């Protein structure tokens, strides 16, 4: 091999998978450690390093922020996160439903549905274009001011969820629409030619394929949604970010924000891994030709 | 009409229209008229694809449509299945009008199976579910009944052990056979085959043609668009040559292939022979 000067790719490949594989692993581990060590060294060498470590990464303050102490004027960031989780879960379900309805209406062709198509197009244009925080303010302060019977007497978290649902459904409906368009028209022809109605074709043939195609972008939007529940704090709900803010207001220490950041990471990273797992499982299942 | 059963009566149009069929037009079968097309015009924008198609198909007849790509064969089949709207003309199925407004397209399509060049199986469903979906959702069969029917059909076409596979695990020939079974599971009165072997590797063509032969010998009424001239000669009770959206000539295969009467047919067949396709 060396004599010809040209590498023998088949041999090289087998070595990479065998002995070379272990060597590759060692190399990648070493390079990762070196890069991380360099970053940490850079951070420690910065002139303000000690001050930053004290105000942002103080273990004692991080623990105090995590458990909270209402008598001293701040709440547990960990407990407050539970509100984020609940807001996320409720908003997610509502978004999946509302966005699908909007997407199907926008994709419809019947002349009867034209008014609905116009309304949903305007809705998507407006709600994608307005910053989420403005929408939260508008609903959070606007709905109570209307003095309507039920609508005006909800908690800040409810208004926050409403704003999240309205804003995200506009985005997610476009993801759905991309998914619907990704299914080839011949699939519609095949379904309709068997006598399936438009609705049955959509439900059993088009949507399952569309949704499979959009799981990654959909989950990506939901990771974004998990973080954006933090914005509802501007209405006064004690969610994780607001709790962290209260802690720093009383103690002049920002470690609470780092706690909130870590907690959000603990939420979002599993969701990302779960997405990958779903995709891999679906792929494996179809390639293996297993029974449903 | 013998062909009009109880469910057919619901297709639409007037049952009396059946008497318009029959008559001397049936060149081939001589049985009851299964399909009748009169004055069918179809355009895609400025492109006039079909220009006044008249065709009558008797029950159990096998009609092969031949002609160059773009002559309108596929469009004609898609119009019969109501997948395309038409500009003018009337289509009857078993004596009942199925074209035009006021027709329940879903009801019509139950009775007309179509198989496409590109198979169009549902990739997210197993072979069995591909076959049972429409019978359960449209005909109201139970899952068990539909599965039993699918098993019988798949077994008949040598696909029994592929039942639980997903389409991307099958060869092109197997996929196309599944597509045929999927259409048959609706117990259609008429099958439309749209160049069903054109997307297949040469060595897989035979297995699909064998299936079609078996259907023909079982008495299935079929309208087949094909480029396989040898196959058309074998199987067709009548061959129609299309050019520029018109049926130029129609005759039993023995006559059309050996002594075509129209100059355009002769020119087309000469090109086919020159290309070594016949």
Contact residues, chain B, for A209 at CB < 8 Å: 122-124
Say if the Cβ atoms of B121 and A190 lie within 8 Å: yes
Please name the residues in contact with A121: beta carbons below 8 A apart, sequence gap of 6 or more: A106
pLDDT of residue A20: 55
A195: nearest CB among B106, B118, B164: B106
Looking up tokens 């009548």 gives B238
pTM reported for the whole predicted model: 0.77
Take residue B199 and report the two structure tokens written for it: 């997307």
CB A153 within 8 A of CB A144: yes
Number of residues assigned to chain B: 278
pLDDT of residue A149: 84
Q: What kind of architecture, by CATH, is found in domain B28-122+190-274?
A: 3-Layer(aba) Sandwich (3.40)
Contact residues, chain A, for B109 at CB < 8 Å: 192-195
The CA distance from A81 to A75, in Å, is: 11
Contact residues, chain B, for A204 at CB < 8 Å: 133, 137
Sheet with B112-115: strands ordered across: B112-115, B190-194, B221-225, B62-66, B238-243, B246-251
Q: How many CA atoms lie within 13 A of B73 on its CB side?
A: 26
Residues of A with CB under 8 A from a CB of B: 186-187, 189-197, 200, 204-205, 208-209, 212, 286-287, 289-292
CATH 1.10.3720.10 fits A61-288, yes or no: yes
Q: What is the DSSP letter of B249?
A: E
Q: What is the pLDDT of residues A20-37, one digit of tens each?
A: 577 888 899 999 999 999
A190: nearest CB among B120, B138, B165: B120
The CA distance from A84 to A231, in Å, is: 10
Say if the Cβ atoms of B113 and A195 lie within 8 Å: no
Nearest CA in chain B to A211: B124
A186: nearest CB among B112, B116, B183: B116
Please name the residues in contact with B201: beta carbons below 8 A apart, sequence gap of 6 or more: B172, B173
Give the number of other CB atoms < 10 A from CB of residue B96.
Answer: 25
Q: What is the pLDDT of residues A234-285, one digit of tens each?
A: 998 899 999 999 999 988 889 999 999 999 999 889 988 888 887 787 777 6
SS3 content of chain A, % helix, strand, coil (to 5): 85, 0, 15
Q: Is the pLDDT of residue A216 over 80?
A: yes
CA angle A47/A48/A53 to nearest 5° reads 130
pLDDT of residue B19: 38
ipTM of the complex: 0.84
For strand B88-93 and strand B96-97, is the pairing parallel, antiparallel, or unpaired? antiparallel
Please name the residues in contact with B211: beta carbons below 8 A apart, sequence gap of 6 or more: B157, B177, B180
CB B242 within 8 A of CB B211: no
pLDDT of residue A159: 94
Considering chain B, what is the average pLDDT of its residues?
87
3-class SS of residue B49: strand
Nearest CA in chain A to B123: A209
Please name the residues in contact with A37: beta carbons below 8 A apart, sequence gap of 6 or more: none
Contact residues, chain B, for A189 at CB < 8 Å: 78, 83, 116, 120
Which residue from B218, B226, B163, B181 is spatially nearest to B200, judged by alpha carbons?
Answer: B226
CB B59 within 8 A of CB B69: no
The CA distance from A163 to A268, in Å, is: 21
Take residue B272 and report the two structure tokens written for it: 């086919």
Q: What is the pLDDT of residues B42-55, one digit of tens each?
A: 999 999 999 999 99
pLDDT of residue A278: 79
A240-to-A77, A78, B128 alpha-carbon distances in Å: 5, 7, 50
Say if the Cβ atoms of B81 and A193 lie within 8 Å: yes
Say if the Cβ atoms of A290 and B164 lie within 8 Å: yes
Q: Is the pLDDT of residue B96 over 80?
A: yes
B123: nearest CB among A196, A204, A209: A209
pLDDT of residue B31: 66
Mean pLDDT over A44-55 rounds to 90
3-class SS of residue B155: helix
pLDDT of residue B17: 37
Say if the Cβ atoms of B122 and A197 lie within 8 Å: no
Domain-by-domain residue ranges, chain A? 9-45, 61-288
Nearest CA in chain A to B179: A190
Q: Is the pLDDT of residue A102 over 90?
A: yes
The CA distance from B130 to B148, in Å, is: 14
Looking up tokens 């195609």 gives A213
pLDDT of residue A191: 96
Say if the Cβ atoms of B109 and A291 lie within 8 Å: no
Q: How many CB pairs under 8 A join A and B?
A: 73
Considering chain A, what is the average pLDDT of its residues?
87
CB A162 within 8 A of CB A237: no
Domain-by-domain residue ranges, chain B? 28-122+190-274
A171–chain B nearest CA distance, Å? 26
The CA distance from A110 to A172, in Å, is: 23
CB B96 within 8 A of CB B4: yes
Nearest CA in chain A to B133: A204
**C-alpha A25: how far from chain center:** 31
What HEC string does chain A produce? Answer: CCCCCCCCHHHHHHHHHCHHHHHHHHHHHHHHHHHHHHHHHHHHHCCCHHHHHHHHCCHHHHHHHHHCEHHHCECCHHHHHHHHHHHHHHHHHHHHHHHHHHHHHHHCCCHHHHHHHHHHHHHHHHHHHCCHHHHHHHHHHHHHHCCCCCHHHCCHHHHHHHHHHHHHHHHHHHHHHHHHHHCCHHHHHHHHHCCCCHHHHHHHHHHHHHHHHHHHHHHHHHHHHHHHHHHHHHHCCCCHHHHHHHHHHHHCCCHHHHHHHHHHHHHHHHHHHHHHHHHHHHHHHHHHCCCC
Q: What is the pLDDT of residues A130-139, one digit of tens each?
A: 999 999 999 9
The CA distance from B232 to B10, in Å, is: 34
Nearest CA in chain B to A282: B124
Mean pLDDT over A164-170 rounds to 96
Nearest CA in chain B to A212: B124
Contact residues, chain B, for A193 at CB < 8 Å: 81, 83, 109, 112-114, 183
B126: nearest CB among A196, A204, A292: A292
Contact residues, chain A, for B107 at CB < 8 Å: 195
A66-to-A77, A157, A229, A249, A251 alpha-carbon distances in Å: 5, 21, 18, 15, 14
Please name the residues in contact with A165: beta carbons below 8 A apart, sequence gap of 6 or more: A91, A94, A95, A98
The CA distance from A217 to B1, in Å, is: 56
Say if the Cβ atoms of B122 and A190 lie within 8 Å: yes
């Amino acid at each position: 091999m060396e004599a010809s000067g040209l590498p023998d790719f088949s041999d090289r490949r087998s070595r990479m998978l065998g002995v070379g594989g272990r060597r590759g692993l060692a190399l990648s581990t070493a390079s990762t450690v070196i890069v991380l060590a360099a970053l940490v060294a850079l951070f420690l060498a910065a002139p303000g390093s000690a001050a930053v470590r004290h105000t942002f990464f103080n273990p004692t303050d991080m623990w105090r922020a995590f458990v909270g102490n209402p008598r001293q004027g701040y709440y547990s960031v960990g407990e407050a996160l539970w509100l984020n989780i609940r807001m996320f879960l409720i908003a997610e379900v509502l978004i999946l439903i509302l966005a699908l309805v909007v997407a199907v209406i926008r994709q419809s062709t019947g002349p009867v549905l034209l008014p609905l198509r116009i309304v949903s197009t305007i809705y998507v244009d407006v709600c994608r274009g307005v910053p989420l925080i403005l929408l939260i303010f508008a609903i959070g302060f606007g709905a109570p001011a209307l003095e309507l019977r039920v609508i005006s007497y909800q908690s800040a978290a409810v208004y926050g969820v409403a704003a999240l649902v309205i804003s995200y459904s506009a985005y997610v409906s476009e993801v759905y629409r991309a998914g619907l368009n990704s299914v080839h028209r011949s699939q519609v022809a095949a379904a309709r030619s068997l006598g399936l109605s438009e609705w049955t074709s959509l439900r059993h043939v088009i949507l399952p394929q569309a949704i499979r195609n959009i799981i990654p972008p959909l989950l990506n939007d939901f990771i974004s949604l998990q973080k954006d529940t933090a914005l509802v704090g501007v209405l006064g709900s004690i969610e994780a970010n607001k709790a962290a803010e209260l802690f720093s207001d009383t103690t002049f220490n920002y470690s609470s924000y780092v706690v909130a950041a870590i907690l959000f990471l603990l939420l979002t990273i599993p969701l990302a891994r779960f997405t990958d797992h779903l995709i891999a499982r679906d792929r494996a299942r179809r390639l293996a030709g297993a029974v449903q | 009409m013998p062909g009009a059963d109880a469910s057919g009566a619901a297709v639409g149009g007037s049952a009396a229209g059946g008497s318009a069929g029959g008559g001397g037009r049936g060149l081939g079968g001589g049985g009851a008229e299964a399909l009748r097309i009169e004055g069918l015009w179809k355009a895609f924008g400025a492109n006039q694809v079909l220009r006044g198609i008249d065709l009558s198909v008797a029950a159990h007849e096998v009609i092969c449509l031949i002609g160059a790509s773009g002559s309108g064969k596929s469009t004609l089949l898609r119009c019969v299945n109501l997948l395309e709207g038409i500009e003018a003309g009337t289509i009857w199925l078993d004596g009942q009008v199925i074209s035009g407004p006021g027709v329940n397209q879903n009801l019509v399509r139950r009775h007309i199976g179509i198989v496409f060049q590109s198979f169009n199986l549902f990739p997210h469903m197993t072979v069995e579910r591909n076959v049972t979906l429409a019978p359960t959702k449209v005909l109201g069969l139970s899952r068990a009944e539909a599965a039993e029917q699918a098993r019988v059909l798949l077994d008949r076409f040598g696909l029994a052990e592929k039942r639980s596979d997903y389409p991307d695990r099958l060869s092109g020939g197997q996929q196309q056979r599944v597509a045929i079974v999927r259409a048959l599971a609706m117990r259609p009165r008429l099958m439309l085959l749209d160049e069903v072997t054109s997307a297949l590797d040469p060595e897989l063509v035979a297995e699909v043609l064998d299936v079609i032969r078996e259907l023909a010998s079982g008495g299935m009424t079929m309208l087949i668009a094909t480029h396989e001239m040898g196959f058309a000669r074998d199987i067709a009770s009548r061959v129609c040559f299309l050019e520029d959206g018109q049926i130029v000539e129609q005759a039993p295969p023995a006559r059309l292939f050996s002594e075509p009467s129209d100059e355009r047919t002769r020119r087309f067949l000469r090109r086919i022979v020159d290309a070594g396709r016949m």
